[in-house]
């Protein structure tokens, strides 16, 4: 039954060009703007200035100044690709239960013999698939762009591989589960979306601190983050299934 | 065994009673009406029977599956019940066929594609099947919702206000669909506040106004009403009637003979007849009286 719910959800996403456009706009910006800026800096900025930037971030690259400045961006921009799966999953998942309620499809859905777990899991996985696919495509394009500017293969390194392949799915699930929990309690899907989207704020804060040169996020941090998010995922899924009470959902 | 047995069902939300003392039985193949004003507890009763709400008190058995306090019907019950919700509730961007197929699969219908095709044909939706749901007319949407309620061939069909918000043409279409189901001996609970729907389609109806007020048996087309233009003693035609009642200038007859024969006999006996018409079941009178009594209590 989970497969039936997922197929329907994905079909709905495919039929919604505005939703697809809004999902694609942030990743496009996250990839295109820094790469374009990097390419311009490498050509236009004085070498002294570029070396100064590398000093600020403590980066030394033997392959040259361009590779050095690309390396700075590569290391610091990873958190943005951890924000993406959460943001995209929230965008879709917040529409799930709240959207079902708003379109009045919730009652006929709940009147079927499908289990609570199947409905929740179906909605979650259906939101995760496009969120992860877009994140991975964006990450691949970003890596290609960085490598092109650097003139040799800088990315993906081990942090990027771990971040995009292991951490992104966990974060997408986190955004998803949060959105399902919130949307099962909040009547307006847009309010649910906004509330759930606040979960990206800690990651954005980390990004800002890292860009400001105040912290340097290393492998240990990403491993710890993965463990914490995995634990949060399990807890949130359990809460989502418990909150998904047929009677409560219909009477709210 | 009856298709539905409800025994003193009661439900409240946040301390406010929605309905109580709801008891009735629905036999297999019967069309049973749930009549009541808005907020009377009809939808709550229907949702309890559909396995969506657990009653606070009382019990029910639907298609052989129990519903008890704190325990709504399980997936087995929901698989045997077809529920038409008050609003059609489909996905706008999916086509009529995709919507129906989705619910057919969720309901684990046998051969869902064939079943959906047959239902689309039955409700004259075949040529609109590949249009997005949002583009269908109100009547088509409601017929699609009825098709969804039937897609898994349920034992019991629960229809919640099937004609609410429809224009006259769509209302007629939907009523004809329900009449077809009744003619096919489907077991139906029809929840409505339209008396004419109950009169036309149901064999019995429960009046609900927060609680069960009464269960009324519907009689159709069995009485003849004759309005007299002048006083008249009808004793001469008694032999042609099962029963005869004179009330003022209105003569109510349960005919034993054909109507023209009775009218001819009355005219021969000296009656001056102003109007002859079939007498509608006095459901409206009964309903208004019961409602007034319920409010007084």
Instruction: Please name every residue paired with B132 in a beta bridge, in sequence order, or none if there are none.
Output: B95
Got the DSSP string for chain A? -HHHHHHHHHHHHHT-HHHHHHHHHHHHHHHHHHHHHHHHHHHHS-HHHHHHHHHHHT---TT-HHHHHHHHHHHHHHHHHHHHHHHHHHHHHTTHHHHHHHTT-HHHHHTSS--HHHHHHHHHHHHHHHHHHHHHHHHHHHHHHHHHHHTS---S-HHHHIIIIIIHHHHHHHHHHHHHHHHHH-S-HHHHHHHHHGGGHHHHHHHHHHHTTS----HHHHHHHHHHHHHHHHHHHHHHHHH--HHHHHH-
pLDDT tens digits in sequence order for chain B, 297 residues long:
789 999 999 999 988 999 999 999 999 999 999 998 888 899 999 999 999 999 999 999 999 999 999 888 889 999 999 999 988 999 999 999 999 999 999 999 999 999 999 999 988 999 999 999 999 998 899 999 999 999 999 999 999 999 887 888 888 888 888 888 888 888 999 998 888 888 888 889 999 988 888 888 876 666 788 899 988 888 888 888 877 878 788 888 888 888 888 889 889 888 899 999 887 656 776 777 676 766 666
Helix axes A189-197, A168-185, angle to 10 degrees: 140
Got the DSSP string for B92-154? TTSBHHHHHHHHHHHTT-SSHHHHHHHHHHHTT-GGGTTSBGGGS-HHHHHHHHHHHHHTT--
Among B39, B142, B139, B157, smallest CA distance to B87 is for: B142
Kindly list the domain boundaries of chain A, sorted by start residue. Answer: 2-251
**Contact state of A8 with B94 under an 8 Å Cβ cutoff:** yes
Give the Cα separation of B67 and B52 in Å (integer): 10
Q: In what order do the strands lie in the sheet with B16-26?
A: B16-26, B4-13, B57-62, B65-67
Taking one residue from A and the other from B, the number of pairs with CB-CB distance under 8 angstroms is: 76
Residues of A in contact with B53 (CB under 8 A): 247, 250
Answer positive or negative: Cα dihedral of B193, B196, B200, B206.
Answer: positive
Among B216, B222, B181, B207, smallest CA distance to B30 is for: B181
Pair of tokens at residue A140: 């691949």
pLDDT digits over A82-118, tens only? 999 998 988 888 777 778 888 889 999 999 999 888 8
Alpha carbon dihedral A6, A9, A12, A18, in 10-degree steps, equals -120
Pair of tokens at residue B124: 């004259």
Among the partner-chain residues A12, A113, A247, the one whose CB lies closest to the CB of B75 is: A113
Residues of B in contact with A104 (CB under 8 A): 85, 87-89
Among B143, B137, B138, B139, smallest CA distance to B100 is for: B143
Residues of A in contact with B92 (CB under 8 A): 103
Instruction: Please name every residue paired with B6 in a beta bridge, in sequence order, or none if there are none.
Output: B24, B60
ipTM above 0.90, yes or no: no
- Tell me the pTM: 0.80
Which site among A111, A115, A251 would you substitute to test the B interface, given the most B Cβ atoms closer than 10 Å to its Cβ?
Answer: A111
Domains recognised in chain B with CATH numbers: 4-217 (3.40.50.300), 223-279 (3.30.70)
Give the Cα separation of B88 and A109 in Å (integer): 12
Among B194, B189, B149, smallest CA distance to B171 is for: B194
Q: Which residues of B102-138 are buried (b: 16+ CB within 10 A; e: fewer)?
A: bbbbbbebeebeebbbebbeebebeebbeebbeebeb
Q: SS3 for B258?
A: coil
Give the B-side interface with A, CB within 8 Å. Answer: 13, 47, 50-54, 72, 75-76, 78-79, 81, 83, 85, 87-94, 98, 102-103, 105-108, 132, 145, 148
Burial of residue A116 (CB within 10 Å: 0-12, 13-18, 19+) is middle
- By the CB < 8 Å criterion, does A190 face chain B? no
Using the 8-state DSSP alphabet, how is residue B272 labeled?
-
pLDDT digits over B13-34, tens only? 988 999 999 999 999 999 999 9
Are the C-beta atoms of residues A127 and A92 closer than 8 Å to each other?
A: yes
Containing B65, the helix (H) or strand (E) segment is strand B65-67
Q: What pLDDT, on the 0 to 100 scale, is given for residue B219? A: 67
Closest CA in chain A for residue B104: A112
């Amino acid at each position: 039954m989970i497969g039936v719910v997922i197929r329907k959800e994905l079909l709905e996403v495919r039929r919604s060009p505005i939703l697809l456009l809004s999902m694609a706009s942030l990743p496009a910006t996250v990839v295109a703007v820094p790469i374009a800026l990097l390419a311009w800096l490498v050509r236009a900025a004085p070498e002294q200035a570029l070396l100064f930037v590398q000093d600020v971030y403590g980066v030394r690259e033997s392959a040259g100044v361009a590779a050095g400045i690309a390396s700075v961006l590569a290391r610091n921009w990873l958190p943005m690709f951890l924000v993406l799966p959460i943001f995209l999953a929230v965008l879709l998942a917040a529409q799930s239960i709240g959207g079902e309620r708003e379109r009045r499809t919730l009652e006929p859905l709940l009147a079927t013999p499908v289990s609570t777990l199947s409905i929740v899991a179906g909605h979650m996985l259906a939101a995760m698939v496009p969120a992860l696919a877009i994140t991975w495509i964006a990450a691949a394009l970003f890596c290609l762009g960085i490598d092109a500017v650097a003139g040799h293969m800088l990315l993906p390194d081990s942090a990027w591989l771990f971040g995009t392949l292991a951490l992104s799915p966990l974060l997408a699930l986190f955004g998803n589960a949060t959105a399902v929990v919130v949307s099962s309690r909040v009547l307006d899907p847009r309010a649910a979306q906004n509330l759930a989207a606040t979960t990206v704020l800690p990651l954005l804060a980390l990004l800002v601190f890292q860009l400001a040169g105040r912290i340097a996020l290393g492998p240990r941090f990403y491993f710890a983050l993965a463990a914490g998010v995995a634990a949060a995922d399990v807890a949130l899924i359990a809460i989502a299934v418990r909150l998904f009470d047929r009677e409560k959902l219909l009477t709210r | 065994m009856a298709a539905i047995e409800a025994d003193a069902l009661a439900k409240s939300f946040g301390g406010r009673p929605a309905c109580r003392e709801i008891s009735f039985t629905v036999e297999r193949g019967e069309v049973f009406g749930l009549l009541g004003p808005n907020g009377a507890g009809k939808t709550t009763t229907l949702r309890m029977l559909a396995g969506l709400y657990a009653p606070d008190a009382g019990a029910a058995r639907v298609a052989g599956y129990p519903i008890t306090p704190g325990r709504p019907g399980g997936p087995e019950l929901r698989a045997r019940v077809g529920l038409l919700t008050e609003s059609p509730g489909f996905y706008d961007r999916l086509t009529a066929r995709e919507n129906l197929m989705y619910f057919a699969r969720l309901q684990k219908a046998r051969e869902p594609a064939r079943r959906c095709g047959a239902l689309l044909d039955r409700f004259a939706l075949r040529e609109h099947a590949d249009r997005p749901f949002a583009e269908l007319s109100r009547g088509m949407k409601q017929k699609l919702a009825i098709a969804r309620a039937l897609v898994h061939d349920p034992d019991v069909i629960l229809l919640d206000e099937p004609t609410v918000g429809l224009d006259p043409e769509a209302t007629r279409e939907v009523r004809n669909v329900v009449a077809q189901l009744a003619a096919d001996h489907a077991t139906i609970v029809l929840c409505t506040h339209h008396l004419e729907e109950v009169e036309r389609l149901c064999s019995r109806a429960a009046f609900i106004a927060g609680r069960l007020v009464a269960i009324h048996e519907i009689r159709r087309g069995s009485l003849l009403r004759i309005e007299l233009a002048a006083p008249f003693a009808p004793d001469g035609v008694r032999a042609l009637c099962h029963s005869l009642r004179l009330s003022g200038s209105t003569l109510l007859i349960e005919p034993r003979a054909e109507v023209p024969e009775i009218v001819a006999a009355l005219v021969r006996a000296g009656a001056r007849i102003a109007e002859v018409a079939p007498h509608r079941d006095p459901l409206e009178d009964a309903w208004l009286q019961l409602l007034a009594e319920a409010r007084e209590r």
